[in-house]
Structure formats: C-alpha cells, structure tokens
Structure 1
Amino acid sequence: MIWIILVVILLLFLAFLGFSAFVAYKMTKPERFVGDWTPKDLGFDYENVEFTTEEGLKLRGWWIEGGSDKTVLPLHGYTRSRWDDVYMKQTTEFLLNEGYNVLAFDFRGHGESEGKYTTVGEKELLDVKAAVKWLMENHPEKARRVALVGFSMGAVVTIRSLAEIEGVCCGVADSPPIYLDRTGARGLRYFASLPEGLYNFVKPFTKLFSGAKELNMVEYADRVRKPLLLIAGEKDPLVKVEEVREFYERNRSVNGNVELWVTDAPHVRTLKLHPEEWKRKVGEFLGRFL
C-alpha cells in the first residue's frame, strides 16, 4: 500500500514539475505580435531594416528619418513589438512630429525578429547595442545624439543601456520592473490567474529555456549617471510605485539628472490615459538632454 502512495506522490510531483516547465516555456516563448500599420500611415516615409546581434540573430525594424541629427529608439515591452498600438504607435508618431529620427525594431523572440526565446531584458541589451551600431555605421550623421524611450521590458533595457552603451545619452523608462522576480510572480496572477508562489518553481525552467542570467536592476541605481526619466503608475499591478521610487532615491545620490513622475495609470498606460501630459513631460526631457 505504501508503495502505491509513494508512486502517486511521485506522479503528482512529476506532473507539477511538468506544469511548471510548461508555464516557463510559454513565458519565455510568447506569441509573436505583428500588426498591419506602418509609419506611412502616420505620414512618414520609412525603410525596412535588418541588423545582426553579436550572437548572429537578425533583428528587423523601421528606419524613419525626421530631418534631425538626433535619433530616438522606442523600445517595446514583453509580448509586444514595434506594431504595438497602445504605446509604440503613439510614441513613434510623437517623436517624428518632434523632428527626431526614429529607429523602431522588434526585440529577439518578438515581432519579425529572430530568436526563439525572450530573456525579458537580459540579452535584449545586445539587441540595443546592435541597433545603435547599425545606426552609427549607416547613418553616422544622424547618430550624434541617441536616446531611448522604453516601456516595461524596454524600460529595463533602457536603464541598462544608460550604464553600458556609450552611444546612448539619455532615456525614458516607463513602468520599469525593478524587482524582476516580483513582477514575474505578479504576472502569473494577473495574466494567468495562477498563484504567485508558483513562480519559484517556474523560474528555474525559464532560465533553462532562455539561458538568461540573473538581473539585479537595483545595482543599476548605482551605475546610471546619464539623464533618466522614470514613469510609474499607482494602478500598475505588475510594478509597484515604491519599487521604482526606491530605485529613484538610490540613483539620485549619484545622478543629478534623474527624475520620477508618478501617475494614476496602470502598467504602461500613462501615455494612453494622459497623452498630452506624457508628451509634454517626455518632450521637455528630450529637449533638455538629447
């Protein structure tokens, strides 16, 4: 009898591990989002571009000239792409209307770019490095000043880029996850109605699938010295305002050009809910530092 009980327990344990692995696989390989609008719909000519990361992944995007020697890269969030119409489309249009050149592309594992898995901000730094390198090699006269405007995962990469990519001069980080494990656990509950505690079992499998290394975003609060605008929403179910504020307070001790704007919006929804104020804040920030 005891052997039957042990076998049942073992089977249940294996089923639980299998379910955890399945959840991890779905998290690291999100469904690709490809839309049907282009910058032409916004009234701007554009060029389809392709560039390669140092590991050999081909990333695809749009190059849109705005008649300036300054370029901005809008960076999309997890599961989205340059076609996102919650914030990417509006941001691209805003930046072009401000007169900046725009290089919008899909991170690895998203949109039309190569890559089987996402690392939610870790290896995506290499994607931005490849984009900046392409810009400097193909349009050096347009790359004298380069800024980033990132959302969620893109905000994580924005913060990291300010510390690690010399060619980037300033950045806007909208809804940046500071404690990635906490955001990941909240995401299980918010998107899949699963218990947050399951993340402890899912996480090892996500690292196994994606090959991602552990990211400690708090340490970047000690490393970023370039102008940074942080945007956090009080109704964000994934990233708590207190976490972003903690980063801000710590970064402020070493960075005189860091700003924090707290709104009443959910995750990456400040632009949608308060478009004019978002454009004014971001426009003024870029006007000062780009």
Structure 2
Amino acid sequence: MTGSWQKVNFVNSRGLNLAGLLYVAPGNTGRIIINCHGFTGSKEGGGRALELGTELSRRGWSTLLFDFSGNGESEGNFADLTLSGQIDDLTCAVDWVVKRGYNQIVTVGRSFGGSTVICQAARDHRIAGVCTWAAPARLMDLFTSFTDESLDSPEEMVTMAGENGVIYLKKAFFRDLQLYDVPREAARLTPRPLLIIHGTGDGVVPPGDARLIFEAAGEPKKLVWIEGGDHQFTGHYLQVWENLFAWLNKHFPGI
C-alpha cells in the first residue's frame, strides 16, 4: 500500500507494544527514514512529521514514525523512560523495517530523539546515516536544569518542569544518562554521514552542544546553523527540511 499513512505496531525487547505510522514510498525503493520525536513528544510532531514524511515519499523515501515507550500511543509508563530504553525501542524499529525489506535506513531525531539516534547508530551498523535536529550533547547538564530537586535525596521520583507542565521521572533516568557521552558516540558513526542541524536562537539546548557533537564526529559530517531558529525551529522548518533533502541527495543519490 502506498500513498497514505498506515498504522503499524511492533514490540520492544521489554515486551511493550509501540505504536507507529508508516508511509510507503512509491516504487518500493528499499529506502526508509526512521524519524524520532523529542522528549515528551509524539510521533506526529504536531503534524509536521506527517508533512515531512509525505514530502519524503515524493523523493523516494518511505518513513516510519513511532512513539517511544511511555509516550503517545505506545505502551509503558513515562516515568520509566531512559536513554537506554529509547535506544532499544529504536533498535526494535530497525529490526521491524529490515524484516519488511528496507535495506537503506537513515535515522532522524529531534532534540532528545537526536541524542538517541546518535547513540543507537553507534551500536547498529545497519544505519546508513544520521541527522539530528537540536540534539543535546551534555545530557546531565540539560536534564538537571529542569529540576530543583537533589538527585542524592532518598526519593526515587524526580519532579521536572516539562513543556506541558510538571512531569515525573525515576532517578534511574539520570543514572542511565551517565552511561552515554554523546560526542564520543558521534565519533563512532564514521564513515557513515552525519548531519547536525541547530538553531542559533535555541533557548533549550545551547548551540554549543551542536559544536561539541560536530567537532567529535569523523567525516563525512556537516553542521548547519539555522539563523534565529529556536528549539522548535518556529518559522524555519522548511529550511531544516531543505537541508535534510540536500544531504540525502548528496549521500544517498537516487537509483
């Protein structure tokens, strides 16, 4: 089936059912983008991820969107979220598309989803290329800034300020973050291409994080600054898309 979004689902290694949406490009090209949402986000990206997937299909790329466990329509408790869990979710998504015959897989991740795609691809050579949008490099610095609570206190839950109000995470989230050095993980991607996109006006993830990832990564790599772009690339998303399309055309030219 082509020309429309299909609801799909797959199971992660913890037995949780993950909800996805698949848009199959015409011609069964075997090329697919797995697009990963950000912290507290969802697969649809407020509609933008759906628009992007439709546009990518015109360029020969299928798209898989999915909700990380504990988010959106996927099973799981948000308080159990960890980066290791998201890496597992994405790896299971890769397993799922490979079983369906896709053999050229590029991952795209926004914000914390960007950190996830870097860390996952460092461990999975089935990923042909990685693109990040506003991805944090200094994870502990970023996430501890969202709470006033001490991580040394005996309570297991941490109260955090999210985009949509107060959220709760287990301290295991922070312990798990310490296992990952995002710039060092980015260095493991070479010789696969890496595209880093970041807004100069990002007030959530400092633009310096993009520089840290870029400087650590091997070739081929590219860092694109979106002048004045905020964390959501408000008013600049078409510029982000055009940079993605140009990068895909360069590194993955059509057959």
> With structure 2 as the length reference, what TM-score do the two structures score?
0.82
> Mean Cα displacement is larger for which, 272-281 or 155-164?
272-281
**1:173 partnered with 2:139:** no
Q: Using the TM superposition, give the Cα deviation of residue 161 of structure 1 relative to its aligned residue in structure 2, in angstroms.
A: 2.2
Structure 2, unaligned runs of 5 or more: 158-168
Aligned residue runs from structure 1 range 1-290, under 5 A = 44-67=3-26, 68-85=29-46, 87-117=48-78, 118-119=80-81, 121-137=83-99, 139-140=100-101, 143-188=102-147, 198=149, 200=151, 205=157, 206-208=169-171, 213=176, 214=178, 215-225=180-190, 226-251=192-217, 255-263=218-226, 264-269=228-233, 272-290=234-252
State how far apart, in whole Å, the 1-side matches of 2:37 and 2:55 are.
15
Moved more, 86-95 or 49-58: 86-95
**1:79 match: secondary structure:** coil
Contact 1:122 1:212 in 2 (8 A): no
* 1:98 CA displacement: 2.1
Paired residues of 2:110 and 2:135 also in contact (CA < 8 A)? yes
Higher relative contact order structure (alpha carbons within 8 Å, sequence separation ≥ 6): 1
- Displacement after TM superposition at 1:181 (Å): 1.6
- Give 1:102 shift: 1.0
Question: What RMSD over aligned residues (CA atoms) do the two structures have, in Å?
Answer: 2.4
Larger Rg: 1
| Count of matched residue positions in the alignment of Structure 1 and Structure 2 | 232
Runs of 4 or more above 3 Å deviation: 185-188, 198-212
Q: CA deviation at 1:236?
A: 1.3
Q: Read off the aligned partner of 2:83 and give its amino acid letter.
A: G
Percent sequence identity over aligned pairs? 22
After superposition, what is the alpha-carbon deviation per residue over 1:137-174, rounded to whole angstroms, capped at 9, x for unaligned? Answer: 1x21xx11011111011101111122111211001100
* Letter matched to residue 56 of structure 1: G
Return the alpha-carbon distance in structure 1 between the equivalents of residues 93 and 56 of structure 2.
Answer: 17
Unaligned stretches of 5+ in structure 1?
Answer: 1-42, 189-194
Higher helix share: 1
Alpha-carbon shift at residue 179 of structure 1 (Å): 0.7
Q: Higher strand share goes to which structure?
A: 2
In 2, the alpha carbon distance for the partners of 1:122 and 1:258 equals: 25
Secondary structure of 1:149's partner?
Answer: strand
Distance 1:187 1:262 in 2: 25
Q: Which amino acid aligns with 1:77?
A: G
